[in-house]
Structure 1
Amino acid sequence: MSGSKKNQEVTVAEEPTKSQIRRWRKYLADEIAEGQIYRDLADRSTGPERDILLGLADAEDRHAQHWRDLLGDDANVRTRPSMHRALLRFLARMFGSVFVLALMQRAESNTPYKHDSEVPAKIAADEAIHEEVVRGLAARGRETMAGNFRAAVFGANDGLVSNLALVMGIGATGVAPSVVLFTGIAGLLAGALSMGAGEYVSVRSQRELLEASHPTQVTLRTAKYLDIEQNELELVYRARGMTPEDASHRALERLGYLSCDCNPSFSARPDGSQGPEEELTQEAFESVGNPWKVAFSSFLFFASGAIIPVLPFLFGATGLAALMWALGLVSVALLITGGIVGLLSGASPLKRALRQLAIGLGAAGVTYLLGMFFNV
């Protein structure tokens, strides 16, 4: 009887507590949701990325099965996943973009498994590896879109902050609403034109620098007329970064005395790459961008942000109410742009949003106080 009682006590001790059951159900629901998120993302992907996402989904299914085995019959009770994962699943199903991957990266990094000693070490390790896998996938997306999109966000943010500060500073002086309105429009045009002109000059200067620095085809056109005894062609290749031996070899090749392309270091380019030099020039120019397109984009991005603090005055608001409306609209926009920048940077969207908001409101507050102080 004592032995039977002892066995009964062991059985009772091994039964999960109510808090464990609740926690394990939550884990199960989140694992199921994450697996579905990866599958939804895979449906919108192709090639290796699709295979990687499906591999992550299979891993989440294995984790979910672990919690099913622990829960037994209790696993049949339906439990909702966390609001965060439910939102991610909706976004993945609707959009399937780099933003979902960036959010999934943060979700994997903030897994509760790190602080739960009851979670098997292999599952906790899997989740840590998942974070790195998703980080790699998100990095691919950031590389393809971050340049133009980041320029758009930063341009809009510049317009938001600078024109809000201008409107707040002028509005604090107590001038007529029409003066604030036209000042805001002037600030929008001045800032957008300045941004566009600055980007045009910058990109145009980079293209001119490439044109001036890139090797020409003169060595091909003049090689047959050169004096091999006074071989200045070697100086060309040495100036491009070759060693004296490699420069001599390449010069003899150009002069027609050698016909060996076995060593890429003998290329006419310092980096050893092959192919027509015109193609390399075009690739370099494309990476820099078209100055007119960049200038026009910068103008539009800045203007799209700078128009927001002017909107209340355009719709007839006046005085302090108009300034508060401008402040509120810009605050929402700053939170959005800051969160987007945080996502693209792989950082916390909330922290970046609040930082962006603090910077924008700080600039507006300083100019408002200066406007009240000078009152002119």
Structure 2
Amino acid sequence: MTSTTTPTPADLRRWRRYLADELAEAGVYRDLARRKEGEEREILLALSDAEGRHAAHWQALLGDRAGRLPRPGFRFRVLALLARRFGSVFVLALAQRAEVRSTYEADVDATAQMAADERIHAEVVRALATRGRNRLAGSFRAAVFGANDGLVSNVALIMGVAAAGTDRGVVLLTGLAGLLAGALSMGAGEFISVRSQRELLAASTPSPDAIEALPDLDVDANELALVYRARGMTPEEAQRHADEVMADIVILGTASRRFHADTDPDVDPHEAVGTAWGAASSSFCFFGMGAVIPVVPYMFGLGGATALVVALVAVGVALMTTGAFVGLISGGPPVRRALRQLAIGYGAAAVTYGLGALFGTTVA
């Protein structure tokens, strides 16, 4: 494709930037594909080919005016670095954000097909990232929740006790007790929660005994329709589906695939929940890691306002780090997530500090 009008210097700069970004994005998907196999590898290579077609569009517009291309945008450089080194769900989440932020729809030199491609690419990457998120969802949720709870609860506890004018040794002991008690509580709570959820899922999964009984059902009565009505189908849909299952039994001798037709055979709900021991250990360890941060200044002999300031700064950095990480892996804005975590943590600390100061004044 060639431009029908003489492009301005601004046009050429924009086209060169698009070309550099598309080439970089195609490289990201190729690097990710090298760490995958099977269907995921094929999908990533197809995305790379699509970005290559977009790059060819800008190359055709530029013709012999391409010259030296600029460096790809910052997010594409970060993606390329992470894809070569990690190739994980973290990278796919970042790639999802990059696709969503495409500006082709507002660019007159980009085709409608290219703009549509980017929208679809965002959904493809979202689906790939979801597979990875499901694999780590249980332990990841417990780890993030544990770390954040450890940071917020223990800094709030320490702030409240210190504001009441308590001695440094007592504050340190209180912080260590809060760390141990909170970690044990979080670990036990996660274990019970996940174990109960897995038991509920197991109770809701179609029984293999029911599948084995299908060949012996009365074809005329076909009570199998009641199963599908109980799963939410209308009487007509249930009867039609039951007839199809029974026909499979007669013709093929099997019906397990149609019997589970209202569920996705490739999705394991237990995988998204995680294991009870995995969630418990993640929650226990990460709560402890978070809760120890506000205690560290007191462990090194600091006290008074100095210890509180150091603890608040350290906790603030940790809160923003966890918030940004959650934002990145979930495809959300990392800065906004980081600031949200910081506001919540500091808000809780401010409330307990105020109560502690009030209590200390009252006692005095």
Q: TM-score, normalised by structure 2?
A: 0.77
For 2:235, the equivalent position in structure 1 comes to none
For 1:257, the equivalent position in structure 2 comes to none
1:17-51 deviations in Å (ceiling 9; x for gaps) = 11111111111111111011111111111111111
Indicate how the Cα distance of structure 1 residues 98 and 204 shifts in structure 2: closer, same or farther if over 3 A, else same: closer
For 1:301, the equivalent position in structure 2 comes to 286
Q: Matched residues in 2 for 1:132 and 1:103: separation? A: 13
The CA deviation at 1:297 is 3.5
For 1:142, the equivalent position in structure 2 comes to 133
For 1:39, the equivalent position in structure 2 comes to 30
Secondary structure of 2:249's partner?
Answer: coil
1:262-284 deviations in Å (ceiling 9; x for gaps) = 38xxx9x9x957xxxxxxxxx99
The CA deviation at 1:291 is 4.8
For 2:303, the equivalent position in structure 1 comes to 318
For 1:95, the equivalent position in structure 2 comes to 86
The CA deviation at 1:287 is 8.2
For 1:109, the equivalent position in structure 2 comes to 100
Q: Which amino acid aligns with 1:184?
A: G
Aligned alpha-carbon RMSD (Å): 3.4
Indicate how the Cα distance of structure 1 residues 338 and 76 shifts in structure 2: closer, same or farther if over 3 A, else same: same
The CA deviation at 1:293 is 5.1
Secondary structure of 1:310's partner?
Answer: helix
Structure showing greater Rg = 1
Secondary structure of 1:78's partner?
Answer: coil
Q: Matched residues in 2 for 1:124 and 1:210: separation? A: 41
The CA deviation at 1:319 is 1.6
Q: Is the 8 A contact 2:137 2:272 kept in 1?
A: no
* Paired residues, number: 317
Q: Matched residues in 2 for 1:218 and 1:132: separation? A: 38
Work out whether 1:262 is the aligned partner of 2:249.
yes
Q: Which moved more, 1:33-42 or 1:293-302?
A: 293-302
Q: Is the 8 A contact 1:30 1:81 kept in 2?
A: yes
Indicate how the Cα distance of structure 1 residues 337 and 63 shifts in structure 2: closer, same or farther if over 3 A, else same: same
Secondary structure of 1:40's partner?
Answer: helix
The CA deviation at 1:171 is 1.8
Q: Which amino acid aligns with 2:168?
A: P
Q: Is the 8 A contact 1:150 1:341 kept in 2?
A: no
For 1:182, the equivalent position in structure 2 comes to 173
The CA deviation at 1:203 is 4.8
Q: Is the 8 A contact 1:160 1:308 kept in 2?
A: yes
* Superposition map of 1:76-225 within 5 A: 76-203=67-194
The CA deviation at 1:205 is 5.2
Q: Is the 8 A contact 2:138 2:273 kept in 1?
A: no
For 1:364, the equivalent position in structure 2 comes to 349
The CA deviation at 1:304 is 1.5
Q: Matched residues in 1 for 2:84 and 2:41: separation? A: 15
Q: Matched residues in 2 for 1:360 and 1:45: separation? A: 39
Q: Matched residues in 2 for 1:308 and 1:43: separation? A: 39
Q: Which amino acid aligns with 2:15?
A: W
Indicate how the Cα distance of structure 1 residues 190 and 51 shifts in structure 2: closer, same or farther if over 3 A, else same: same
Q: Which amino acid aligns with 1:196?
A: G
Indicate how the Cα distance of structure 1 residues 23 and 198 shifts in structure 2: closer, same or farther if over 3 A, else same: same
Q: Matched residues in 1 for 2:203 and 2:102: separation? A: 53
For 2:232, the equivalent position in structure 1 comes to none
Q: Matched residues in 2 for 1:74 and 1:135: separation? A: 36
Secondary structure of 2:318's partner?
Answer: helix
1:333-356 deviations in Å (ceiling 9; x for gaps) = 111221222234332222222211
Q: TM-score, normalised by structure 1?
A: 0.74
Q: Is the 8 A contact 2:142 2:280 kept in 1?
A: no
For 1:334, the equivalent position in structure 2 comes to 319
Indicate how the Cα distance of structure 1 residues 213 and 15 shifts in structure 2: closer, same or farther if over 3 A, else same: closer
Identity %: 58
Indicate how the Cα distance of structure 1 residues 122 and 189 shifts in structure 2: closer, same or farther if over 3 A, else same: same
Q: Is the 8 A contact 2:150 2:179 kept in 1?
A: yes
Indicate how the Cα distance of structure 1 residues 152 and 15 shifts in structure 2: closer, same or farther if over 3 A, else same: same
